[in-house]
Structure 1
Amino acid sequence: MAMDHRVYTWRFEFKLGGLLAPARRTTRLPGDVVRSSVLSFYERKEVPTLQKIQEELKENISFNGCIESLRKILKRIGFTYGKVDGRKFLMERNDIANARTQFLRERRRHKHPAKKIVYLDETWVNQNYTVGICWTDTASQQATGIQAPTGKGNRLIILHAGTKDGFVENAELVFQAKNDGDYQHQMNSAVFEEWFKNQLLPNIAPNSVIVMDNAPYYSVKIEKPPTSSWRKADIKDWLVNKGAQPSDELLKRELYAMSKTYFTGNKYRIDTIAEEAGHEVVRLPAYHCFYNPIELIWGQVKSYVAQRNTFKLAELKPLLKRP
Structure 2
Amino acid sequence: MDVVCRRIGALRALQRHREEGRKVVYVDEMWFTTRMSHSREWVDTTQAPFNTTYSRQLPPGEGERFVVVAAGTDEGFVDGSYLCYPAKTNQGDYHGEMNGELFMRWLTTQLLPSLPEPSVLVLDNAPYHSQLTEESRCPTTATRKADLIRWLEQHNISIPPAATRPELLLLCQQNRPQPQYKIDNTIRMLGHDVIRLPPGHPELNAIEQVWGFMKRYVRSTLQRFTRTELRATLDEARQLVHKDVWAGAVQHSRKYEEEYWKTDNIHECRTHYHKHCQ
Which of 67, 84, 106 is equivalent to 1:157?
Answer: 67
Q: Secondary structure at the match of 2:167?
A: helix
Instruction: Quote the residue 1:293 is aligned against.
Output: 206
TM-score (norm 2): 0.74
Query: When you count helix as a share of all residues, which structure comes out higher?
Result: 2
Q: Secondary structure at the match of 2:18?
A: coil
Instruction: Quote the residue 1:302 is aligned against.
Output: 215
Partners of 1:317 and 1:145 lie apart in 2 by 21
Which of 118, 125, 130 is equivalent to 2:25?
Answer: 118
Unaligned stretches of 5+ residues in structure 2: 48-53, 240-278
Counterpart check, 1:284 vs 2:197: yes
Instruction: Quote the residue 1:317 is aligned against.
Output: 231
Partners of 1:155 and 1:136 lie apart in 2 by 22
Partners of 2:36 and 2:169 lie apart in 1 by 50
Q: Secondary structure at the match of 2:19?
A: coil
Q: Secondary structure at the match of 1:304?
A: helix
Partners of 2:176 and 2:213 lie apart in 1 by 43
**1:199-225 deviation per Cα after TM superposition (whole angstroms, max 9, x unaligned):** 111111122100010111111111320
Matches within 5 A, 1:1-323: 94-112=1-19, 114-129=21-36, 142=46, 145-177=55-87, 178-223=89-134, 224-244=137-157, 246=159, 249-260=162-173, 262-309=175-222, 310-322=224-236, 323=239
Alpha-carbon spacing, 1:319–1:233, altered in 2? closer, same or farther (3 Å): same
Alpha-carbon spacing, 1:96–1:245, altered in 2? closer, same or farther (3 Å): closer
2:18 partner amino acid = K
**1:18-77 deviation per Cα after TM superposition (whole angstroms, max 9, x unaligned):** xxxxxxxxxxxxxxxxxxxxxxxxxxxxxxxxxxxxxxxxxxxxxxxxxxxxxxxxxxxx
Q: Which structure has the greater CA radius of gyration?
A: 1
Bigger RCO (CA 8 Å, 6+ sep): 2
Q: Secondary structure at the match of 2:163?
A: coil
Per the TM alignment, residue 300 of structure 1 is displaced from its structure 2 partner at its CA by: 0.6
Partners of 1:146 and 1:116 lie apart in 2 by 42
Per the TM alignment, residue 271 of structure 1 is displaced from its structure 2 partner at its CA by: 0.5
Partners of 1:255 and 1:196 lie apart in 2 by 38
2:6 partner amino acid = A
Partners of 1:251 and 1:271 lie apart in 2 by 36
Alpha-carbon spacing, 1:136–1:233, altered in 2? closer, same or farther (3 Å): closer
* Identity fraction in percent: 36
Q: Which moved more, 1:249-258 or 1:167-176?
A: 249-258
Q: Secondary structure at the match of 1:129?
A: coil
Q: Secondary structure at the match of 1:174?
A: strand
**1:143-193 deviation per Cα after TM superposition (whole angstroms, max 9, x unaligned):** 663223223311101111101101111111111111122331111111111
2:10 partner amino acid = F
Question: Paired residues, what number?
Answer: 227
TM-score (norm 1): 0.64
Runs of 4+ in 1 over 6 A off after TM superposition: 132-137
Per the TM alignment, residue 261 of structure 1 is displaced from its structure 2 partner at its CA by: 5.1
CA-based RMSD: 2.4
Instruction: Quote the residue 1:56 is aligned against.
Output: none
